Amino acid sequence: MTAAVKTKRRRPKSELGPPTNGNRTRIRARNEDKILDAALEVFADYGFKGATIDQIAARAGMSKPNLLYYFRRKRDLYVAVLERTLDMWLEPLSAIRADGDPAEEIRAYINRKLEFSKVRPTASRMFANEIIQGAPLLKTILHGGLRNIVDEKAAVIRGWAKAGKIADIDPYHLIFVIWAVTQHYADFASQVEAVVGGRLSDRKFFRETESAIDHILLRGILPTKRM
């Protein structure tokens, strides 16, 4: 904490600029992650307006000057948290391969998405909250990588449908359905819990949920002869 601030202040001029030392990069990445984890918790509890840099620094166990070295403004932190969530979600979508088995490719994507709802529910909830309120900052984030990846994978899915490997369904709406169903278990966790008393953190409930979703969605999109 304080040590890091001192190091930074004492940093000789020759060390400015992009880090060349692997160790320094790792420390930087670790500190950034720690800050973003803390920021996520604070934003989720208090919203963008209610959150303060002081609260986030305290939650991260870091001094405010040290935090400001990594992220200069609250707005930067907020954008970075949402971008990290989106990157996390898009990674398994990017991983879908046109030459793979459609059922296996889609199953892997669904299961990774559901896994995120289990391990990063707060990230999902904060993202949903921002989308619902139509936060202006979010538009910029969504215009980034999201559109390109979704267009690219929609083309892959359309190719599968044309080749008769999956049913003739609209690829964009299929992707929305997968997002909706998997994120529901994070965003609507309190509703699911109130109705059935199940949570994804419970291993048995997670397995049942995963298998029910896989079963319905895959059967929903595969040609009848495959089943």
Partner 1 sequence: MVWARQARRNGSKAAIREGNEKAILAAAEEVFADYGFAGATTSKIAEVAGIPKANLHYYFPTKEALYRQVIENIFNIWLAAAASFDDCDDPIEALTQYIHIKMDISRTHPKGSKVWANEIIQRAPMIQDYLETTLREWTASRVAVIEKWIAEGRLAPIEPRYLMYMIWATTQHYADFGHQISTLNNDRDLSEAQFAKAKDTVTQIILRGIGAIK
Positions touching partner 1 (CB under 8 A) are 47, 49-50, 125, 128-129, 131-134, 138-139, 142-143, 146-147, 150, 167, 169-170, 172-174, 176-177, 179-181, 183-185, 187-192, 194-196, 208-209, 212-213, 215-221, 224
Angstrom distance (rounded) from CA 227 to CA 222: 8
Nearest-approach distance from CB 165 to partner 1, in angstroms:
15
Cα dihedral across residues 214, 217, 220, 222: positive or negative: negative
Q: Which of 69, 172 has the CB closer to partner 1?
A: 172
* Structure-block tokens of residue 181: 């169903």
Q: Shortest distance, CB of residue 168 to partner 1, whole angstroms?
A: 9
Identity of the residue, 68 or 79, whose beta carbon is nearer to partner 1 in the bound complex:
79
- The identity of residue 22, as a single letter, is G
Task: Compare residues 1 and 212 and give the one whose CB is closer to partner 1.
Answer: 212
219: its two tokens: 């059967």
Structure tokens at 207: 């397995």
Beta-carbon contacts of 63 under 8 Å, excluding residues fewer than 6 positions away, are 1, 2, 5, 57
The nearest distance, CB 177 to partner 1, in angstroms, is 5
For the four alpha carbons of 82, 85, 87 and 89, in that order, the dihedral sign comes to: negative
In angstroms, the CA 77 to CA 145 distance is 19
Q: Which is nearer to partner 1, 52 or 190 (CB)?
A: 190
Name the minimum Å distance from CB 215 to partner 1: 7
Residue 63 Cβ, how far from partner 1 at the closest point, in Å? Answer: 29
Cβ nearer to partner 1, comparing 67 with 86: 86
